[in-house]
Amino acid sequence: MKKLFIYLKDYKKETVFAPLFKMLEATFELFVPLVMAAIIDRGIGQADTGYVLKMGLILVALGLIGLLCSITAQYFAAKAAVGFSTGLKHALFDHIQSLSFTEIDTLGTSTLITRMTSDVNQVQNGVNMVLRLFLRSPFIVFGAMVMAFTIDVKAALIFVVTIPLLAVVVFGIMALTMPMYKKVQAGLDAVLSATRENLTGARVIRAFHKEEEETERFEERNGFLTHLQLVVGRISALTNPVTYIIINAATILLLYTGAVRVDNGSISQGEVVALVNYMSQILVELIKLANLIITITKALACANRIEAVFEVESSMRWQDAALNGGVPAEETAERKHLTAVDGSAAGNGTAFGTDNSAGKNRADTGVDFAVEFDHVHLTYGGAGAESLSDIHIQVPRGQTVGIIGGTGSGKSSLVNMIPRFYDATAGTVRVDGRDVKTYGMEELRQKVGIVLQKAVLFRGTIRDNLLWGNGAATDEELWEALRLAQAGEFVETKEGRLDAPVAQEGRNLSGGQRQRLTIARALVAKPEILILDDSASALDYATDAALRRALKELPRETTVFIVSQRASSIQHADQIIVLEDGEMAGCGTHEELLADCGVYQEIYYSQFDRG
């Protein structure tokens, strides 16, 4: 929780004024029993009506002033708590965005959503309650005891025994319930995960008639969460009855002691009433404090879960692109040396890291490689085996590269390393001759346009979604991208055309329309490297062929990677990479692979007649 306090730094005034005004309210409240004692002993005891009215007006004044202080305190507390949660949510969202896919895969989407919403709200409530009651309740409890000593020392000794007993009960229950609330939040993660899976996969569940099984799975997780909440709720519920027993026992003892002291003439009847009022104030405040403790316990458990996300650091480190264009100084020097050797542009003579032979080969041949995989290996976090093994590829600028293989062969894993969604666990991935790890994030992502397997669109309009590729794109550029992506025809039929609405995740569009719009979005950015990761799977063969013909209109320097399980989609590529179980089974043109690559032959002839 301490690490999260930095988000209160802009609300120092509110965090001071909120408890301060609550303390003022408490101070006025502590004077009420003394005024009541005066009314009983002097006003009623001496039948002084004027005095009763005067002191009654004082009671009203104390109440109004206390109400004003309470409203002011609650205003400052709410402002600080809401501002705190706003800053925390922004920081948490930014931190999650900074994590690599590896960390997000490890943490899980459902738990991140829970921590961004439910956990932050619990912490917000905790901050609000702490500012309002954390000082006020103890102040009244101990203030009432002090005021009791000013009335009668012997009767006040009852307060000295009662308050520690109450503290043991309240803080003992807090110690028991805090770890349980952590388990409750973890159970909430599991319920949210099941709910999210069922909602996103509703069509699949119904298609396979799995409603009953999924209902049972949800009820199992929800039942476990309910059990946890009932257990912790029962323990927390002990707070009120136990404190009531202690307070009422103390009140009985106080009335007995007070009666004896009144009979002896040591104190007056009004002072006994004042002592009972102070005991009642302690009861009310301890009930508030018990509820506050429960809220704080939940807030601390949630704060620890939020801190755990902040403590997760991204496994990726991005270079500062402000210096040497993101290139380390030694690499810049090597680039200048190669430029002097072969007379090519600096971008064409970048050194190959520690692979001197590769650097010499490039300097000799003058070939401008857009992307290189230099003996690359990839193992996902927590995986038992490598997903890619010893991939060695050199792709000249302007080539079209097809990547094909069976399901799970590593096609998406391969192209995901180009924009650096994942880092190679061994070997080097280079773009324009530079290790992708030497790029700044913005610099690298501007070079690469990628269309992922799942077509993701956001709620808004077609124009809003296309402008993700380039926020400054003109309507002409948007229509050109739509034409190339074979999406112009159906967009023109939409009411509003570019301003036609798009539902969340593009639910008001067909699968093929979504895919074509995501391709157009990538084309709007005019990337140097375009990656189509099985992004035409929902297109018919005619549209797929038209798309491939349109991609040939891209500038010559644009390098295109086409990942597909259709041989027809990649057979006209300049080179085709065949993957099997994470390893290269072949690399070459369609004719070369059809002649000597068994894996490619198997895929091709499963889709085309041998004749």
DSSP output for 201-215: THHHHHHTT-HHHHH
Name the token pair of 552.
């040939």
φ/ψ region of 429 (left if φ > 0, alpha if ψ in -120 to 50, else beta) reads: beta
Is a pLDDT exceeding 60 seen at residue 31? yes
Give the closest residue to 484 by CA, choosing from 521, 447, 454, 452: 521
Which residues are registered as beta bridge partners of 405? 579
Q: Whole domain around residue 473: which residue ranges?
A: 368-607
**pLDDT tier at 284 (50, 70, 90 boundaries)?**
confident
Residues 331 and 438 grouped into a single domain: no
**pLDDT tier at 30 (50, 70, 90 boundaries)?**
confident
Residues 349 and 420 grouped into a single domain: no
Which letter does DSSP use for residue 458 in this model? -
Rounded to an integer, what distance in angstroms lies between the CA atom of residue 434 and that of residue 448? 14
Percent of the chain with pLDDT over 70: 91
**pLDDT tier at 237 (50, 70, 90 boundaries)?**
confident
What pLDDT shows up at residue 1?
61
DSSP β-ladder status, 369-378 and 426-431: antiparallel
Does the pTM exceed 0.75? no
Task: Count the neighbouring beta carbons within 10 Å of the beta carbon of residue 233.
Answer: 14
Residues 284 and 405 grouped into a single domain: no
141: CATH: 1.20.1560.10
Catalogue the E-assigned strands of 123-176. none
Rounded to an integer, what distance in angstroms lies between the CA atom of residue 104 and that of residue 110? 10
Helices (H), 238-268: 239-264
Is a pLDDT exceeding 60 seen at residue 611? no
Rounded to an integer, what distance in angstroms lies between the CA atom of residue 125 and that of residue 481? 48
Residues 262 and 272 grouped into a single domain: yes
**pLDDT tier at 574 (50, 70, 90 boundaries)?**
confident
Is a pLDDT exceeding 50 seen at residue 492? yes
- Burial environment of residue 504 by CB neighbours within 10 A (0 to 12, 13 to 18, 19 or more): exposed
What pLDDT shows up at residue 76?
92
Of 293, 311, 329, the one marking the end of a domain is: 311
Which residues are registered as beta bridge partners of 531? 450, 561
> Which positions ≥6 away from 437 have C-beta within 8 Å?
317, 319, 420, 423
Indicate the Cα dihedral angle 226, 231, 234, 239, nearest 10°. Answer: -120
Q: Give per-residue pLDDT as tens, 206-220.
A: 888 888 888 888 888
What pLDDT shows up at residue 68?
92
> Which positions ≥6 away from 2 have C-beta within 8 Å?
none
485: CATH: 3.40.50.300
Question: Scanning the structure block, which residue is given the tokens 């009433």?
Answer: 273
**pLDDT tier at 610 (50, 70, 90 boundaries)?**
low
Q: Give per-residue pLDDT as tens, 306-358.
A: 888 888 887 777 776 444 444 443 443 343 333 322 333 333 332 223 333 33
Residues 338 and 422 grouped into a single domain: no
At 451, give phi and psi (nearest 5°).
-115, 110
CA angle 270, 273, 275 (to 5 degrees): 110
Task: Count the neighbouring beta carbons within 10 Å of the beta carbon of residue 88.
Answer: 23
What pLDDT shows up at residue 335?
38
Q: How far is CA 164 from CA 160, 257, 332, in A?
A: 7, 20, 71
Of 326, 345, 366, the one marking the end of a domain is: 366
**pLDDT tier at 41 (50, 70, 90 boundaries)?**
confident
Q: What's the whole-number mean pLDDT along residues 415-428?
A: 86
Q: Give per-residue pLDDT as tens, 354-412.
A: 333 333 334 344 457 888 888 888 888 766 777 888 888 888 888 888 888 888 788 88
Residues 303 and 248 grouped into a single domain: yes
CA angle 214, 188, 92 (to 5 degrees): 125
What pLDDT shows up at residue 185?
73
Rounded to an integer, what distance in angstroms lies between the CA atom of residue 556 and that of residue 576? 19
Q: Give per-residue pLDDT as tens, 142-198.
A: 888 888 888 888 888 888 888 888 878 877 887 787 778 778 877 877 887 788 788
Q: Are 533 and 451 in contact (CB under 8 A)?
A: yes
What pLDDT shows up at residue 472?
82
Residues 55 and 105 grouped into a single domain: yes
Residues 474 and 560 grouped into a single domain: yes
Q: How far is CA 588 from CA 7, 259, 389, 432, 552, in A?
A: 56, 104, 19, 21, 19
Residues 360 and 372 grouped into a single domain: no
What pLDDT shows up at residue 72?
92
> Which positions ≥6 away from 369 have C-beta within 8 Å?
362, 394, 395, 396, 397, 430, 432, 433
The mean pLDDT value of the chain amounts to: 80
Residues 210 and 62 grouped into a single domain: yes
Residues 21 and 132 grouped into a single domain: yes
Of 326, 343, 366, the one marking the end of a domain is: 366
Rounded to an integer, what distance in angstroms lies between the CA atom of residue 76 and that of residue 55? 32
Please count the structural domains in the chain. 3
CA angle 306, 310, 316 (to 5 degrees): 145
Q: Give per-residue pLDDT as tens, 59-106.
A: 888 889 989 988 999 999 999 999 888 888 988 888 888 887 777 877
Q: How far is CA 80 from CA 6, 14, 129, 426, 563, in A?
A: 12, 6, 11, 48, 51
Which residues are registered as beta bridge partners of 533? 563
Residues 34 and 49 grouped into a single domain: yes
